[in-house]
Amino acid sequence: MSERLSWITLVAAAAIVPLLTSNTYYLYVVISAGLLTIVTAGLNVLVGFTGQTSLGHAGLYAFGAYTAALCATRAGLSEWAAVATAIVVTSVVGAAVAAAALRVSGPYLAMVTIAFGLIVEGVLIEWGSVTGGPGGIFNIPKPSLRVHYWTVMLAAALALWLTANLRRSAWGRACLAVKSSEVAAESLGLSAYYVRIAAFTVSAAFTGAAGALFTFLNGYISPDSFTLQTSILFLLALLFGGLGRIAGPVAGSVALTILPELLTKLLDYRLILYGSLLLLSIYWLPEGVVGALSRGRKARVAPRPTTAPRPPAAPRPPAAPHPALSPEGRGVLLRARGVSLSFGGIVALADVALTVEHRSIHAVIGPNGAGKTSLLNVLSGFYAPDAGAIALNGRSIAGLTPYAIARRGIARTFQTAQVFGGLSVLDNVAVGVAGPRLGTVWAALAGTSACRARESAIRSRAQALLQAMGLGEVADDAAEALAAGLRRKLEIARALATLPVLLMLDEPAAGLSPAEIAALDLQLTALREQGGPAVILVEHHMDLVMAVSDRITVLDYGRTIADGAPEEVRRDPAVIEAYLGAAT
């Protein structure tokens, strides 16, 4: 409610400025803040949502500006056509840069983007015949400042609206999922690489638009406006305003446009100011000004009641899998032969074989370090096996990427539960429901009606799954705030949401109370009764394993030492020796 109020105030303020003053200086300052807002709104998609840092956006800004300038001066296009062309060109350049740069991440990505920015700056200066060299391009036909004021304000509002749409869509969730846990996101069929490229391209499009509008503000441009400092300023404005917050770009942009104007006398201290602000916002405002404000308000108005301990939810069977993916009849679902894997000189898996039947629960047990988790990682594509054949429904999956394997119907959980922080419990499951089916990112930005319809379908399915898993009451809680037992449940719900044919659980009972383990037992058997996915269960809890498994494979030192029905395995001398030591 009060958030809506702040937005209305902001719009009103923007509308009043040109009425109150005819001083072009003020208009100019507000336009600059508007341009910075557009850039940072785009950057927010990349840095705030997707968690990748770029220090080369000044290069993209330059692409937008110079494209527009060339369109207007050489091709004689109108302002609108020039801006549109600039957006298209910058998006294409952004996608190309992203495809190359996003093969790396973190500090490497920062470096590649810095290098990109410097190359662009260098080319602007060197390629004088097109860019005008160090002097830049002059005499660009420009609209009156007042008209331009409205154009930029509308564009800034549009930029914020688009990012808000994106944040609420399957794309927004996918970005946050990739940021929070790349591994878990890939296990749900999302390609982290693809999601990041899309985010980078969106941010490039926004930056290109702002660059083009910048051209029509001054009527001239020169390489001085597109240095590394500019890229740092973009990032600083976003961090200061609030990373990942929709309103963050506005707050940061306004602050960082007005502050230096107020302190023109301190021009010599500008870098100190920027540096300190940067440190300050990283130290004390990890969520920016906007985050700090809304946190303060929440604490004042609505202290959230501490959730009373609930009685353990009665285990209800999960929703049945989608018929399209539900396998017909019985038979072999997964067949692995001769799977070997070693790290340096350490052999993790040696010639392991595993055959999993449709709709069965197949346990993989063994002492610590036996290679159980390594086997799951090979089956789900996180490790490429050194040798061996793996086939799902008769089709080889060995050596495929994790997301490709996930798309073929293998879902998994992790030894340390990997829930997506920054997303609600419901949204976590919604990531699984949507899987790789995200639609185009442009539709998500525009929030088309088809997109919204799909969105409500996704949410209701996610809600149903949560109910079935007994997580209905915590659907709106932050996922990272869940207790360990609930996290594991959430992870299972999320994996089931992808409608897998094979579900791999890595120590689902670790850290669970006896009551919770009993519930898990019921859930697993219910899954089988209903014709759900086959399950590979890696577990140390022998009671659970013996109670639910149809078949057990025992690993020790990376080798299969036994394979058979629970009763056979229990009596197998090799197994007894592995667990209890030689009985000689």
- Cα–Cα nearest to 46, from 164, 161, 169, 172: 172
Q: Binding to other proteins (CB under 8 A): which residues in 333-372?
A: 343
Which of 78, 80, 126, 307 binds other proteins (CB under 8 A)? It is 126
Which of 228, 404, 475, 546 binds other proteins (CB under 8 A)? It is 228
Q: Which stretch binds other proteins (CB under 8 A): 36-44, 85-93, 231-239, 436-444?
A: 231-239
Q: How far apart are CA 137 and CA 130, in angstroms?
A: 9
| Nearest to other proteins of 112, 527 (CB atom) | 112
| Nearest to other proteins of 17, 118 (CB atom) | 118
Please state the φ and ψ torsions of residue 521, each to the nearest 5 degrees.
Answer: -55, -50
Cα–Cα distances (Å) from 158 to 38, 41, 162, 163, 211, in that order, read 9, 10, 6, 9, 16
Which of 49, 66, 116, 216 binds other proteins (CB under 8 A)? It is 116
Cα–Cα distances (Å) from 49 to 2, 16, 28, in that order, read 24, 32, 30
Using rule CB under 8 A, residue 226 touches other proteins: no
Using rule CB under 8 A, residue 266 touches other proteins: no
| Nearest to other proteins of 149, 414 (CB atom) | 414
Q: How far apart are CA 177 and CA 118, in angstroms?
A: 31
Do 343 and 373 touch, CB atoms closer than 8 A? no
Using rule CB under 8 A, residue 104 touches other proteins: yes
Do 175 and 409 touch, CB atoms closer than 8 A? no
# residues contacting other proteins (CB under 8 A): 45
Which of 74, 103, 295, 330 binds other proteins (CB under 8 A)? It is 103
Residues 6+ apart with CB under 8 A from 503: 410, 411, 412, 492, 495, 496, 527, 532, 533, 534, 535, 536
Q: How far apart are CA 134 and CA 124, in angstroms?
A: 7
* Least Cβ distance, residue 318 to other proteins (angstroms): 25
Q: Which stretch binds other proteins (CB under 8 A): 152-160, 275-283, 322-330, 471-479?
A: 275-283
SS3 assignment, position 387: strand
Q: Which stretch binds other proteins (CB under 8 A): 103-111, 253-261, 307-315, 544-552?
A: 103-111
Which of 278, 510, 546, 576 binds other proteins (CB under 8 A)? It is 278
Which of 47, 69, 458, 469 binds other proteins (CB under 8 A)? It is 47
* Least Cβ distance, residue 183 to other proteins (angstroms): 6
Which of 31, 87, 190, 235 binds other proteins (CB under 8 A)? It is 235
DSSP state letters, 244-280: T-SSHHHHHHHHHHHHHHHTGGGGGGHHHHHHHHHHH
SS3 assignment, position 356: strand
Strand partners, 362: 536, 551
| Nearest to other proteins of 110, 458 (CB atom) | 110
| Nearest to other proteins of 125, 145 (CB atom) | 125
SS3 assignment, position 554: strand
Specify the residue for token string 């331009």: 148
Q: How far apart are CA 459 and CA 431, in angstroms?
A: 10
Q: Binding to other proteins (CB under 8 A): which residues in 460-499?
A: none
* Least Cβ distance, residue 107 to other proteins (angstroms): 6
Please state the φ and ψ torsions of residue 13, each to the nearest 5 degrees.
Answer: -60, -45
Q: Binding to other proteins (CB under 8 A): which residues in 413-452?
A: 414
Which of 12, 16, 75, 119 binds other proteins (CB under 8 A)? It is 119
Using rule CB under 8 A, residue 66 touches other proteins: no
* Least Cβ distance, residue 420 to other proteins (angstroms): 14
Q: Nearest-5° angle of CA 403, CA 404, CA 407?
A: 85
Q: Which residues bind other proteins (CB under 8 A)?
A: 47, 51, 53, 100-101, 103-104, 106-108, 110-112, 114-116, 118-119, 122-123, 125-126, 183, 228, 232, 235, 239, 268-272, 274-276, 278-279, 282-283, 343, 373, 377, 382-383, 414
